[in-house]
Amino acid sequence: MAPAPQTLFDKVWQRHEVSAGNADCPAVLYIDLHLIHEVTSPQAFTVLRERGLRVRRPELTLATMDHSIPTLTAQVFGGAPIALDSAARQVRALERNCAEFAVELLGLTHRERGIVHIIGPELGLTQPGKTIVCGDSHTSTHGALGALAFGIGSTEVAHVLATQCLLQRKPRALAVNVSGSLRAGVSAKDLILAIIARLGVSGGTGHVIEYRGETIRALDMDERMTVCNMSIEAGARAGLVAPDETTYAYLAGRPRTPRGDDWQRALAAWRELPSDPGARFDREVHIDADGIEPMITYGTNPGMAIPISGSVPERPGDAALARALSYMGLSAGQPIREQRVNVVFIGSCTNARLSDLRAAASLLRGRRIASGLRMLVVPGSQQVKRQAEAEGLDRVFLEAGAEWRESGCSMCLGMNGDVVGRGEYAVSTSNRNFEGRQGSGARTLLASPLTAAASAVRGRVTDPRELM
C-alpha cells in the first residue's frame, strides 16, 4: 500500500520526532536552529546555571540583540551610553551568557545584527524543512521558507539550550488557500490582514497554517515572510509556505547555506517537502485575493481590520467593539480614510525588509511628510540598512522629513524608548495594535508600507493608490 499523502507540516514534524507522542506523553521534537535575543533569554541561562547544565549544541544556537536595544546611531556606534539602564543590563547579560556558554553572538555593533526574524533568512540559516524556535511569537516568519518555526517561552528556551529538544503535542493543520491576483497598491500585508480579519484573532489557535494557492506561489520571499510573520495574530503558532524555485533562488549563495555538493543534496531533500497531492488538512479556508483592497486596522487587535475605503463598524451592544473604539478615540460609522495621523512607523519583523523600504520610498520620493507628523524608518537589519543606503533610500526618507535609524524592533513594541505618545495616532507597518503596544495610551493603525508612507505625506489615513 502506498504511504498516506502527507502535508509539508507532517513531513517536517515526523522527521524531527526523537520520540513520537502517545496518549500519556507529548512528542520529543528535535530543534535544528535556536535563535535567542536579549529579552527572553536571561532567565533561561539562569536555569542552566542553577542546574549546572551546558548548552547542548551551541553551534545550532545564534544570539542577537533587537528588542530593547537603541536605534540611535550615537548609542549603537558612537560610544554614547545606552540611555535605558535596564536595556544596557540586558545587552551586557547576553554578552556574558554567550561568552560563558560559547554561543555565537551577533552583538550590538556587528554588521550582521538585526531583528532576529530578519537575519535568519538573510544569512541563509533559515532553510526548508528545519525546525526553528525562538523566544518570540513572530518566529512564525521563518515558515515562509518551508521551515516549521514557532515562538516559545523562556522556560522552553532553557529546554532547547539544555537538550536541543521540546516536548510538544502536534497541532492540527489548517490550509489557507489563496487564489487570484493582488491588485496594484495591494501588498502581502494587506493580504494577511484580510486573512486575519476572516479567521479572527483566535481562528488559528491549536493549528499550524499552510498558505497555499497561486497567489502565494506568486509572492516573493519578502512577501511570504510578511504573511507567515502574522500567523500568530490569528492564534496559529506557525505558518508555512512550501519551498519552490523562488525559495531556492532566494537562498542560493547566502552566507550560511550549504555549498557545492551539499547544496545539491539539500536541494534534492527540499524538493521532497511540499505537501503531497491529496494530503489532508484538518480545516481549509479559501480567500479570493482579487477582491482585497489596502487594509487598515481600526481597533485593538489585528483582526479588527477593514478595507481602507471602509468605515469603522457599527454594532450596537458589542461591548468589545465599544471598548476598542473608546480606547482608539474613533466613532462607529466613521470613514477610516481622513483619520488624522501623528506618527508613522516603518519597521518591525513584519515589514522592514529591503522591499518594504523600497515601497515606502517610492511614495516619498520628491515629497515631504505632513507638517507636525513624526516618521520613523527603522530597517530590519544592518544589512538591509546598508543595501537601502546603497540605493539612496536613506536620502529619500531624510529629505522627506523622516528619521533614519539603526536596525531593531524599536517602535513596534516601544521597549527601547522609541514610543508613540499617549493619545497619538500611529500608522504602523508592525504587527500588533494592542492597547499600549507602541507606548502607554498609543493608538495604532496597522497597515502596509505603501499605506503608511501615503498617510505620512497627507497626515491622514490615505489610500496609497491616490499617490501612485
Partner 1 sequence: MQPFTSLSSRTLVLPASNIDTDQIIPARFLTTTTRSGLGRHLFADWRYQPDGTPRADFALNQPGASACRILVTGRNFGCGSSREHAPWALLDFGVRAVVSSEIADIFKSNALKNGLLPVIVDEPTSAWLIAHPGAEITLDVARSLLTRPDGTAVNFPLEPFARHCLLRGLDELDYLLERSGEIEAFERRA
Contact residues toward partner 1 (CB under 8 A) are 18-19, 23-26, 28, 30, 39-40, 42-43, 46-47, 51, 53, 56, 67-68, 84, 86-87, 89-90, 93, 135-137, 151-156, 158-159, 162-167, 169, 171, 201-202, 205-206, 232, 235, 237, 301, 319-320, 323, 413-415, 422, 432, 434-437, 440-441
With CA atoms as reference, report the closest residue to 196 among 287, 282, 127, 115: 287
DSSP class of 80: P
The alpha carbon dihedral of 137, 242, 210, 28 has a sign of negative
CB closer to partner 1, 236 vs 447: 236
Question: Rounded distance, CA 350 to CA 367, Å?
Answer: 25
What length is written for the chain? Answer: 468
CB closer to partner 1, 263 vs 434: 434
- Minimum distance from CB of 25 to partner 1 (Å)? 5
- Minimum distance from CB of 206 to partner 1 (Å)? 6
- Minimum distance from CB of 420 to partner 1 (Å)? 13
CB closer to partner 1, 235 vs 464: 235
Question: Rounded distance, CA 404 to CA 393, Å?
Answer: 10
- Minimum distance from CB of 327 to partner 1 (Å)? 10
CB closer to partner 1, 59 vs 245: 59
One-letter amino acid identity for 105?
L
CB closer to partner 1, 351 vs 431: 431
CB closer to partner 1, 17 vs 403: 17
DSSP class of 185: T
Question: Rounded distance, CA 459 to CA 69, Å?
Answer: 29
CB closer to partner 1, 257 vs 438: 438
- Minimum distance from CB of 214 to partner 1 (Å)? 30
Question: Rounded distance, CA 275 to CA 284, Å?
Answer: 14
- Minimum distance from CB of 459 to partner 1 (Å)? 26
Integer CA distances (angstroms), 356 to 93, 345, 363, 453, in order: 32, 12, 12, 11
| Cβ–Cβ under 8 Å, residues 145 and 121 | yes
| Cβ–Cβ under 8 Å, residues 275 and 6 | yes
Question: Rounded distance, CA 71 to CA 113, Å?
Answer: 12
- Minimum distance from CB of 190 to partner 1 (Å)? 21
